[in-house]
Amino acid sequence: MGVLFFKFATVAVVGSRLDPGVPFSTGWWAGTPGVSTDQDLIDNINNITPYSNDTNPFSGNLTFELDQNTPIFQLDGGSFLSFNNLPAGFMIESANITFLGNNIDTPLYGTVQGIITGTTLANYNSGAAVTSFNSGSIDLCQGVAKTPLAFLALNVKIIFNYPPAQPPGNFHNAAYHFNIVSATYSSPNSPITITGSGGFKLAGAGYNIYYFVGGDSLDGNIGALISGAATVESNEFISGDGTSIDLEASSGTGVQFNGSFPFMSTIITGSGGILVSNTGADENNLVLSTDVSGLYILVPGKTNDTIYDRNDPLNITTTVVKIPDPYIRTAFLGG
């Protein structure tokens, strides 16, 4: 799970006071109601100038207009990405919105509630007199991870309630602003897992795999080799003379992975082998051993055995060992 930072390109502010006689946008929001920038929204809420002695609650709806091409998502402090550049499966795990009252001279009363599509979120403030509304936050995700599209389509209704039992005017003397102060995200595993033996495997089907060997030129599409989570070893790439392979996986939503891995070190010697099975599906299962034994060479006067170490075909070494306990036995004598 990573840290997500939002930079909203545009925010729609639609507000209405519950008192039908006074439009929410008149005198309550200093800025221009309707579509505005995020800074406008913050400025508006920052400068609430309600009528004094007003005890009516008021509310406003916050929506985030989706802009698919403007980079507004920042993942773990990296560069900003647009919606279209987010990795497939990207999910917003949490997004805490907070309301800050910044007039500490006057006690504040009331509660701040958030309502998302009929779900009432926890009160931001219990209603007790506090000097600021900065002691908590409301998670817009409420424990349910949302896709960026679903998140940006949220319509959050914010209600400022004034408790009738409190002295009029105190609540509205405060000034507020809100912001998303923290957010987290999760991303699915990479569609490609590089294996330690010099190969890779896919998390699933549905990707086109392109490989590049020894440069940036497109050498081939090996998508036909991929089947689900099957492992593809580097020795299946028959072209190229480099020591590594660059791989790129793409699906319908763009490039999902690009990276490289080295060719595994493979030495195949053709000097020997063992046919380990001659029946069934394994009838062609030929095993090549790097230390196959050679034939004995009879040497007059030789009193030991010599083992040839063929692990390094270019530098064969020998080891002298004893002949395993040579012995003779007579026939049974006596009777």
Partner 1 sequence: MGSKSSQGENINHFNAIRMRITGAGNLKLRFLSYDEVITEDLVDLILEATTNKEPTRLSNFKQQRAQLELKTTLKNETFKVNRILIFVKPMFTSYPG
Q: Mark the segment that binds partner 1 (CB under 8 A) among 44-52, 115-123, 262-270, 326-334.
A: 326-334
Nearer to partner 1 by C-beta: 26 or 304? Answer: 304
Nearer to partner 1 by C-beta: 79 or 330? Answer: 330
Q: Is 282 helix (H, G, I), strand (E, B) or coil?
A: helix
List 265, 304, 315, 319, residue binding partner 1 (CB under 8 A): 304
* Binding of residue 325 to partner 1 (CB under 8 A): yes
State in angstroms the smallest separation of the CB of 305 from partner 1: 9
List 303, 315, 318, 319, residue binding partner 1 (CB under 8 A): 303
Dist. CA 210–CA 186, nearest whole Å: 26
Residue from 297, 250, 289 nearest 271 by CA: 289
Dist. CA 140–CA 93, nearest whole Å: 10
* Binding of residue 299 to partner 1 (CB under 8 A): no
Nearer to partner 1 by C-beta: 189 or 304? Answer: 304
What distance lies between CA 226 and its chain's CA centroid? Answer: 23
Q: Is 274 helix (H, G, I), strand (E, B) or coil?
A: strand
Dist. CA 39–CA 32, nearest whole Å: 12
C-alpha pair distances (Å), 226 with each of 14, 230, 251, 328:
50, 7, 13, 63
Q: Mark the segment that binds partner 1 (CB under 8 A) among 89-97, 159-167, 277-285, 320-328.
A: 320-328
* Residue 155: count of CB within 10 angstroms of its CB: 13
State in angstroms the smallest separation of the CB of 329 from partner 1: 5
Is residue 59 within 8 Å of residue 160, measured between CB atoms?
yes
According to DSSP, residue 297 is labeled -
* Binding of residue 320 to partner 1 (CB under 8 A): yes
Q: Mark the segment that binds partner 1 (CB under 8 A) among 204-212, 213-221, 308-316, 325-333.
A: 325-333
**φ, ψ (nearest 5 deg) of residue 252:** -65, -20
Nearer to partner 1 by C-beta: 77 or 334? Answer: 334
State in angstroms the smallest separation of the CB of 257 from partner 1: 58
Q: Residues 299, 304, 305, 308: what is their CA dihedral angle, to the nearest 10 degrees? A: -90
State in angstroms the smallest separation of the CB of 314 from partner 1: 28
Q: E strands of 131-275, at which residues? A: 138-139, 155-161, 176-186, 192-195, 199-202, 208-213, 220-221, 231-233, 244-251, 254-262, 274-275
Q: Mark the segment that binds partner 1 (CB under 8 A) among 51-59, 242-250, 256-264, 321-329.
A: 321-329
Q: Mark the segment that binds partner 1 (CB under 8 A) among 52-60, 190-198, 203-211, 318-326.
A: 318-326
* Binding of residue 329 to partner 1 (CB under 8 A): yes
Is residue 193 within 8 Å of residue 201, measured between CB atoms?
yes
Q: Mark the segment that binds partner 1 (CB under 8 A) among 12-20, 47-55, 65-73, 322-330.
A: 322-330
Is residue 251 within 8 Å of residue 203, measured between CB atoms?
no
State in angstroms the smallest separation of the CB of 307 from partner 1: 12
State in angstroms the smallest separation of the CB of 326 from partner 1: 6
State in angstroms the smallest separation of the CB of 299 from partner 1: 13
State in angstroms the smallest separation of the CB of 321 from partner 1: 7
* Residue 248: count of CB within 10 angstroms of its CB: 19
* Binding of residue 318 to partner 1 (CB under 8 A): no
Binding site for partner 1 (CB under 8 A): 303-304, 320-323, 325-335
